Amino acid sequence: MAQRTREDALSRERIVEAAVELLDAAGERGLTFRTLTERLATGPGAIYWHVANKAELLDAATDSLISDALAVDPTGSPEEEIRVLALGLFEAIARHPWLSTQLAVQLSRSPWGSVTPRIFESIGQRVSALGVPEATWFTATSALAHYIFGAAGQNAANVRVLDGVDRAEFLHAAASAWEDLDSGEFPFMKSIAGQVREHDDREQFLTGIDLILTGITAQGRD
């Protein structure tokens, strides 16, 4: 086996991969240059050669995961590509709960960075292909982005809260409690209790995407 060079042994990609592993294990507090150097069995100087600081490292880790999630094979149907793209982002955030917070930071504090333009370009190209008026492109793309990250972020929060808890048992308990609510004060909550007990998070998420797409495409028919 050929001997690995120092550059091969410690690339920016390997540093980012290790950072993602630490973030997955312990969140942002678990990612320090000390823990990173220990995981990579190297010195801090070698890491600083590739990454200037923790903020840059977080940005790079976020960008790496988002780039993978946005890799959608063309199907010729912008609606289907939006569904695939949205589900890819939803599942990425479910696998990496810390990603939700980092995306919120990127979208609000640095919309000129690499992540926000990449997300809006990927969604926006498909929105423009739906044939809706150009004047609505920004609003329609924003509506999809806000729904995707809001729903995915809430799902990630649920995953954290329910860590170690049986999901089916939790939903059954919640549904049962809603069924016991006063019918005069909470008629709607009682009526949907059975749906809560049986629902699938991903199917529910995609139904929301379809509802938004229906609204967006209706504008093209006006």
User: What pLDDT was estimated at residue 7?
Assistant: 44
User: What pLDDT was estimated at residue 57?
Assistant: 92
Residue 173 lies in a domain: yes
pLDDT in tens, the chain (222 residues): 333 344 445 889 999 999 999 999 998 999 999 999 999 988 888 898 999 999 899 999 999 999 999 999 988 899 999 999 999 999 999 999 899 888 888 877 777 777 889 999 999 999 999 999 999 999 999 999 999 999 998 888 877 766 666 778 888 888 999 999 999 999 999 999 988 887 888 999 999 999 999 999 987 665
- Comparing CA positions, the residue from 18, 40, 41, 44 lying closest to residue 31 is 18
Alpha carbon distance 201, 102 (integer Å): 22
- Comparing CA positions, the residue from 203, 209, 208, 89 lying closest to residue 156 is 89
User: What pLDDT was estimated at residue 109?
Assistant: 76
User: What pLDDT was estimated at residue 9?
Assistant: 59
Residue 97 lies in a domain: yes
User: What pLDDT was estimated at residue 162?
Assistant: 64
Note down the domain range covering 207: 75-221
Helix/strand/coil (H/E/C) assignment for every residue in the chain:
CCCCCHHHHCCHHHHHHHHHHHHHHHCHHHCCHHHHHHHHCCCHHHHHCCCCCHHHHHHHHHHHHHHHHCCCCCCCCHHHHHHHHHHHHHHHHHHCCHHHHHHHHHHHHCCCCCHHHHHHHHHHHHHHCCCCCHHHHHHHHHHHHHHHHHHHHHHHHHHHHCCCCCHHHHHHHHHHHHHCCCCCCCHHHHHHHHHHHHCCHHHHHHHHHHHHHHHHHHHHHC
* Residue for token pair 């929301």: 208
Residue 56 lies in a domain: no
Residue 185 lies in a domain: yes
**Residues across the chain:** 222
User: What pLDDT was estimated at residue 64?
Assistant: 94
User: What pLDDT was estimated at residue 5?
Assistant: 45
Residue 24 lies in a domain: no
Residue 47 lies in a domain: no
User: What pLDDT was estimated at residue 1?
Assistant: 34
- Comparing CA positions, the residue from 94, 145, 137, 93 lying closest to residue 119 is 145
Which residues lie below 8 Å from residue 166, measured CB to CB, with a gap of 6+?
Answer: none
- Comparing CA positions, the residue from 203, 87, 72 lying closest to residue 144 is 87
User: What pLDDT was estimated at residue 185?
Assistant: 95
Residue 65 lies in a domain: no
For residue 210, give the CATH number of its domain.
1.10.357.10
Residue 55 lies in a domain: no
Number of domains, the chain: 1
